[in-house]
Amino acid sequence: MVDGLGVAGWGVGGIEAEAAMLGQPMSMVLPGVVGFKLSGKLRNGVTATDLVLTVTQMLRKHGVVGKFVEFYGQGMSELSLADRATIANMSPEYGATMGFFPVDGKTLDYLKLTGRSDDTVAMVESYLRANKMFVDHSQVDAERVYSSYLELNLEEVEPCLSGPKRPHDRVTLKNMKSDWLSCLDSDVGFKGFAVPKESQGKVAEFSFHGTPAKIKHGDVVIAAITSCTNTSNPNVMLGAALVAKKACELGLEVKPWIKTSLAPGSGVVKKYLDKSGLQKYLDQLGFHIVGYGCTTCIGNSGELDESVSAAITENDIVAAAVLSGNRNFEGRVHPLTRANYLASPPLVVAYALAGTVNIDFEKEPIGISKDGKEVYFRDVWPSTEEIAEVVKSSVLPDMFKSTYESITKGNPMWNELPVSTSTLYPWDPSSTYIHEPPYFKDMKMSPPGPRPVKDAYCLLNFGDSITTDHISPAGNIHPDSPAAKYLKERGVERKDFNSYGSRRGNDEIMARGTFANIRLVNKFLKGEVGPKTIHVPSGEKLAVFDAAMKYKNEGHDTIILAGAEYGSGSSRDWAAKGPMLQGVKAVIAKSFERIHRSNLAGMGIIPLCYKAGEDADTLGLTGHERYTVHLPTNVSEIKPGQDVTVTTDNGKSFTCTLRFDTEVELAYYDHGGILPYVARKIAEQ
């Protein structure tokens, strides 16, 4: 978000971050800079989220992985700082290293709003003006030279959502119903569920705490105002509260089996919702504050009611979640919501009221008022002016000051935690939450050097857009998974399994949860979806972890075959740590997402890219072959980006590009990963 404030910053992989905390600098290839010109002004009723989803689609299509994006133009002056931060915070979804907004008058206004002193604001302005880094929209824009260019007229942005499975698959609100029906018809894929025509109208009846209930394809079971991207933006948060107010005054209600929640990105949000007097309307519709920070967007939605879960599972219902998050990859939000749509907070409330994504808001009512009249979307949607008026009267500088002042004070529970005075962490071997990591076991002072990958089996054979949500352990621990088996063996009851995120300090659980996504699509399984693979030598179908351990016990290396955009999504370090612990030595893909490629390099896994125009299909690779990666055994003979020959046991040979992008990454590989590298450097001092 800081890039919306004129601070140049970007995310690094968790593995790089760990090394940086130990004093290791990070390296990167100098990025290209994409200029994104904004003109015009958003129309009445169009939100920052609508703009974000539009920009995300444009940039993903343009191709900005590993690049900086700089926004400029007169249209920038029409965007609030919060709107800019919302766009900047979406950079992982459009793949850029950062989406940057230079400093202008709106930035200074935000600094004043959030309690910075007049002297500080004046110093910022004078410094940036003196260094020709301040943008003055009253003057003619100087022509800038960029690596490539894009342009968007803000007046053309329409209300929209993204989904049902990827953040850059934008759908305009007016086309939502037709797009949904198309998804039901289409083959299983990013825009398809392959529901037979005769089953599309199926109605599953169930009892919800003694009340008769029904659920159909497209019915909403989770409606969540969540994610840093939106919940730190007063315009969309107060917009959602105004929708709730109008709905409550008309007597509308949300069906009780829809799981609603509100997780603001900051404590300031509660203060201005209370100040506006609007929080009570959100509460009335079930959007109670459940916490501050990542919830539904990162898979922490919790369980659905058992009756709802049973109705979905037993009737194979394609249930929907609508959330104001920034990520909606398969299996991330909840295992039972196969359709997940990103939307602005006001739209989340509207869809919760409608109870389905199978609706045309222009023509169909979202509910019936207390006096029996049909209520339409337009009846509850606030104008831009209404929102601006509430923002002006409710979002005040003192709210930010008081919240910021209390940040370092903690709370009684945190402050009363007992802390050991030992300089070494006292590992508890019986803990199922924190386990001594294996990365330094049997480590010697001399680096092991390049390891040959010879006659390796293919552990998994993937297509395009395999995300870190497919790879990394996330969300709840499925009761039939290897991780669940591990916990059961240690006396942990199912109700206490908790989530993978809560147990990320235990490598035994996280390794078992790698590739455990129930929506994993592996070509080996030929149409079957789930966290299993084929152990090639025996032909057995096993859980991915079990197959990986079988290969390791047999003394075999493994590789992964993948398509384009491998590792898109959040910058999860376990998406690289898990495969390393499972014994994966190399990944061959059409392209990698920036942070995941960096994380693979940091864990000593070889990232390789097919040559342009080639992939597993064009080369005739089935994954049943055995693969040898021909790398020199001396690291001094390996260069970033060099050509590498890969051969198979059935006579195929093809050339890949080695995606260790810097000499530093080659040093990590020589040491067996970034963590052993840093440990050796510290030991030498």
- The residue extents of the domains of the chain are 2-156, 160-397, 453-472+514-684
C-beta neighbour count of 456 within 10 angstroms:
24
Q: Does residue 183 contact residue 164 with C-beta atoms inside 8 Å?
A: yes
3-class SS of residue 56: helix
Domain 453-472+514-684 sits in CATH 3.20.19.10? yes
Quote the pLDDT of residue 297: 78
Instruction: Name the fold adopted by 2-156.
Output: Aconitase; domain 3 (3.30.499)
Angle 207-208-209 from CA coordinates, rounded to 5° = 105
Q: Where are the beta strands (DSSP E) in 131-279?
A: 148-153, 160-162, 170-172, 203-208, 211-216, 220-225, 259-262
pLDDT level of residue 426 (50, 70, 90 thresholds): confident
Q: b vs e for 408-428, b when ≥16 Cβ sit within 10 Å of the residue's Cβ? A: eeeeeeeeeeeeeeeeeeeee
Which amino acid would we find at residue 554? E
pLDDT of 258-277, one tens digit each? 999 999 988 889 999 999 99
Instruction: Output the average pLDDT for the chain.
Output: 92
- Range list of H helices, 295-421: 306-315, 345-354, 377-380, 384-394, 397-406, 412-415
pLDDT level of residue 205 (50, 70, 90 thresholds): very high
Nearest of 2, 67, 80 to residue 36 by alpha carbon: 67
The structure tokens listed for 495 are 């109700």
Mean pLDDT, residues 647-654 taken together = 96
- Domains 2-156 and 453-472+514-684 are alike in CATH topology: no
Given the DSSP bridges, would you call strands 160-162 and 170-172 parallel, antiparallel or unpaired?
Answer: antiparallel
d(CA 551, CA 328) in angstroms, rounded, equals 33
Peptide bond into 212 cis (omega under 30): no
The structure tokens listed for 544 are 């991915």
Angle 345-394-399 from CA coordinates, rounded to 5° = 100
Mean pLDDT, residues 661-675 taken together = 92
Give Cα 539 to chain centroid, integer Å. Answer: 34
Would you say residue 330 has pLDDT above 90? no
pLDDT of 27-80, one tens digit each? 888 999 999 999 999 999 999 999 999 999 999 999 998 899 999 999 999 999
Tell me which CATH code domain 160-397 carries.
Answer: 3.30.499.10
Which percentage of the chain shows pLDDT scores above 70?
A: 100
pLDDT of 360-382, one tens digit each? 999 999 999 999 999 999 999 99
Quote the pLDDT of residue 233: 87
What is the dihedral angle through the alpha carbons of 398, 399, 404, 410, rounded to the nearest 10 degrees? 130
Q: Return the higher-pLDDT residue of 270 and 501.
A: 270
Quote the pLDDT of residue 252: 97
Would you say residue 229 has pLDDT above 80? no
Cβ neighbours of residue 150 under 8 Å, at least 6 residues apart? 34, 35, 36, 37, 58, 59, 62
pLDDT level of residue 646 (50, 70, 90 thresholds): very high
d(CA 321, CA 220) in angstroms, rounded, equals 6
pLDDT level of residue 26 (50, 70, 90 thresholds): confident
pLDDT of 556-612, one tens digit each? 999 999 999 999 877 578 999 999 999 999 999 999 988 899 899 999 999 999 999
Quote the pLDDT of residue 332: 83
Which percentage of the chain shows pLDDT scores above 90?
A: 73
Quote the pLDDT of residue 571: 58
d(CA 157, CA 459) in angstroms, rounded, equals 44
Cβ neighbours of residue 126 under 8 Å, at least 6 residues apart? none
Quote the pLDDT of residue 408: 80
Cβ neighbours of residue 196 under 8 Å, at least 6 residues apart? none
Quote the pLDDT of residue 301: 83
Would you say residue 161 has pLDDT above 70? yes
Would you say residue 404 has pLDDT above 90? no
pLDDT of 427-476, one tens digit each? 999 999 999 989 888 899 999 999 889 999 999 999 998 988 889 987 78
